[in-house]
Structure 1
């Protein structure tokens, strides 16, 4: 049996880490101070898109443990109650995995609509959890903003990720 060289092993390792690494990098970029009012949820929206896309298209590379790491980084970097983002991302991951076989062959528009349903549920769950943890109803406009940002960001991010997937990653 021929063992892969160190360079081949390194190549395999960075390709396997690409979805989780890109998602964490996207989170850092989204949390930079862009001086855009009312866009505090853009980090959560972009991470939700990324977790859904990679869980659907590369489930072997976007594992539960990867989503757990992303959720922990997200919760440590944002001002939201700790654990909310982590739980919501794990649910988005689970939703993508559970419907993967039914969704994967659909046209892009229908996949986008499925994501819209998942994003709406995630935004409502986030709003409910934050309201519960703060022991008062918070403004639901943040949940609406989270949904709208995620739904709007899906097409460009999905196109970018699909381009990366075609060029760099093995098929699932």
Structure 2
């Protein structure tokens, strides 16, 4: 294979996870209605930040996470910087625990996501309430957490498939030595 075609293949392989991330970012802005007249927002971006912070943190730099949060806030009506703050805390916290998490079975990863998702939803709800001096109903927060936890295995599978498209890293960059 020529050098140009190898570089093109490498570029396209790197574009796959970013394309999936962009698709999930768009889905994150869609609100779903429930039979109880409650709208829920499924935390797809939280899933993306959590997954890549464990398995390939170099793929989502803090700057990318910050910009994604700002874009999400400006498009969804949240106070500017709120999602960025939450996403950066998730990225830092999970990245710091990645050596532990990469060796764990999926159930532990899923449980970890449940904790991260619940804490991020609660923090966003609290900070949103403090910033506006108005507390929104808590029921949508519960539905958001439940929906996120239930959908995480499907999204993790999608992210895992996009992860396989990435070129492998040299040994010095592997998660566990």
Structure 1 ranges of 4+ moved more than 4 A: 32-37
Query: What is the match of residue 59 of structure 1?
Result: 57
Give the Å deviation of 1:30.
4.1
Q: Report the counterpart of residue 38 of structure 1 in structure 2.
A: 38
2:152 match:
154
Q: Secondary structure at the match of 1:137?
A: coil
User: When the two structures are superposed, what TM-score results if normalisation uses the length of structure 2?
Assistant: 0.81
Shift of 1:34: 6.5
Secondary structure of residue in 2 paired with 1:170: coil
Q: Secondary structure at the match of 1:53?
A: helix
Q: Distance in 2 between matches of 1:62 and 1:81?
A: 22
Q: 1:34 to 1:123 in 2, by over 3 A?
A: closer
Segment drifting more, 98-107 vs 16-25: 16-25
Aligned to 2:90: 92
Q: CA 1:18–1:88 in 2, change beyond 3 Å: closer, same or farther?
A: farther
User: Structure 2, unaligned stretches of length 5 or more?
Assistant: none
User: Is 1:139 the equivalent of 2:131?
Assistant: no
Q: 1:170 to 1:153 in 2, by over 3 A?
A: same
The answer to whether 1:8 aligns with 2:6 is: yes
Q: Give 1:57 shift.
A: 0.6
Q: Measure, in 2, the Cα distance between the counterparts of 1:166 and 1:17.
A: 12
CA distance in structure 2 between the aligned counterparts of 1:139 and 1:39, rounded to whole angstroms: 11
User: What CA RMSD, in Å, does the superposition of the two structures yield over aligned residues?
Assistant: 2.3
With 101-110 and 90-99 compared, the bigger mean Cα shift is at 90-99
> Who is 2:48 aligned against?
50
Gaps of 5+ in 1: none
Give the Cα–Cα distance (whole angstroms) in 2 for the partners of residues 169 and 93 of structure 1.
22
**Is 1:104 aligned to 2:95, yes or no?**
no
3-state SS of 2:58 partner: coil
- Classify the secondary structure of the residue corresponding to 1:85: helix
Q: Distance in 1 between matches of 2:47 and 2:61?
A: 15
